[in-house]
């Protein structure tokens, strides 16, 4: 048995509907890098999922390649992690259709993200928006992962995936490994710079720091960052009463490795005027090598193509084994 098969398998995907931001990096990707040698990791660009919302084709292609380059620049070594583009492995769409037929209408109608996205895109409530959790289940189950890293907003999807896998296994035997949700060690929970009650999101660009932002843009965003309206303009960690400052402290701590107590001591008596630029500078230095390496990789189109082709070939071999087993179990004639 090879070392890779002895390791537990972990899988995660992200939609290339926009650029990666600081919250993605500090909250998730940095932890992925630390797990490189612990698990057999599959990380994919979920481009098929983006189609539930109308995309500008050229932008989608550009974002997909930028995201892949950023993954590598953040430290996800393609020699040690399987990095691939979802649409390059047809088994995702094929198993997605089969699982449509084993997922109940009532289950899909209860998915909170369908309700949220329907409200945001009332002029385009399409079938894919309703059934995309089946494709998400296929994304996961094809690779027989032991764990799927989840945040609060994805727990419902993993639970649905587990239910569908168990339903299928009850009918046909042990076809799918039923994955466990993986709660990673706590990364920085990065909130929006202009609304510390909301997570940092690419949908609110002014409150979001993107990995490819130029230093001057980063400084400007932190200069405008919401602090707090209290008269006590001190740097003190208090998420309930001082959410803006507390968010900036969490970011500064994640970028510098300093404790919250050390940060309070460092800026004792200095106020927000000194603190906000310091946070901006720390973020600039954290992201500088990532931005530079991403651009270097994007300029080397041959290398990037080699990465996504090799990743898709490995992913297709693994996914194909699962799909053949599924097709046989449901009665389809072998190819």
150: closest CA among 140, 135, 142?
140
DSSP assignment letter at 268: T
Please report, for residues 76, 225, 232, 280, the alpha-carbon distance to residue 274 in angstroms, rounded to integers and kept in the order given. Answer: 34, 13, 15, 11
Strands 180-182 and 9-14: unpaired
Question: Could you tell me if 158 and 137 are in contact, meaning their C-beta atoms sit under 8 angstroms apart?
Answer: no
Known catalytic membership, residue 314: no
CB atoms within 10 A of CB 4: 12
User: Which pair of tokens denotes residue 222?
Assistant: 């932190």
Do strands 40-45 and 147-149 pair parallel, antiparallel, or not at all (unpaired)? unpaired
Tell me the angle at which helices 301-330 and 272-299 cross, rounded to the nearest 10 degrees.
Answer: 80
199 is catalytic: yes
Residues in the chain: 335
For residue 100, what is the enclosing H or E element? Answer: helix 91-100
Distance CA 64, CA 52 (A): 16
Of residues 7, 177, 202, 329, which has the active-site annotation?
A: 202
Tokens of 321: 């084994």
Residue 335 burial (CB < 10 Å; 0-12/13-18/19+)?
exposed
Q: In the chain, what is the straight-line distance between the N-terminal and C-terminal CA atoms, in Å?
A: 29
Tokens of 214: 């130029």
* Separation between Cα atoms, residue 122 and residue 110, nearest integer Å: 18
Is 258 annotated in the active site?
Answer: no
Active-site amino acid positions = 117, 199, 202
């Amino acid at each position: 048995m090879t070392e890779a098969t002895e390791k537990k398998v972990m899988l995660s995907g992200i939609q290339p509907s926009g650029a990666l931001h600081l919250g993605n990096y500090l909250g998730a990707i940095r932890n992925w890098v630390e797990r490189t040698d612990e698990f057999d990791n599959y990380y994919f660009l979920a481009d098929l999922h983006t189609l539930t919302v109308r995309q500008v084709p050229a932008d989608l292609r550009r974002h997909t390649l930028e995201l892949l380059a950023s993954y590598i620049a953040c430290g996800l070594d393609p020699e040690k992690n399987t990095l691939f583009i979802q649409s390059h492995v047809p088994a995702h769409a094929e198993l997605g259709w089969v699982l449509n037929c084993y997922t109940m209408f009532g289950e899909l109608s209860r998915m909170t993200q369908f309700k949220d996205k329907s409200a945001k895109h009332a002029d385009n409530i399409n079938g894919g928006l309703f059934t995309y959790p089946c494709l998400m289940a296929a994304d996961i189950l094809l690779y027989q992962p032991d764990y799927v890293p989840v945040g609060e907003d994805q727990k419902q999807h993993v639970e649905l995936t587990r239910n569908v896998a168990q339903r299928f296994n009850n009918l046909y035997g042990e076809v799918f490994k039923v994955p466990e949700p993986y709660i990673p060690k706590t990364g920085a929970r990065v909130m929006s710079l202009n609304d510390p009650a909301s997570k940092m999101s690419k949908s609110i660009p002014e409150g979001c720091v993107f990995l490819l932002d130029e230093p001057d843009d980063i400084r400007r965003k932190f200069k405008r960052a919401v602090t707090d309206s209290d008269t006590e303009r001190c740097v003190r960690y208090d998420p309930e009463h001082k959410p803006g400052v507390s968010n900036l402290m969490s970011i500064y701590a994640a970028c510098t490795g300093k404790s919250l107590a050390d940060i309070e001591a460092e800026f004792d008596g200095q106020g927000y005027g000194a603190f906000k630029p310091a946070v901006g500078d720390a973020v600039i230095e954290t992201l500088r090598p990532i931005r530079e390496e991403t651009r270097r990789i994007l300029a080397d189109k041959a290398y990037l193509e080699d990465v996504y082709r090799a990743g898709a070939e490995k992913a297709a071999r693994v996914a194909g084994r699962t799909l053949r087993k599924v097709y046989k179990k449901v009665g389809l004639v072998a190819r």
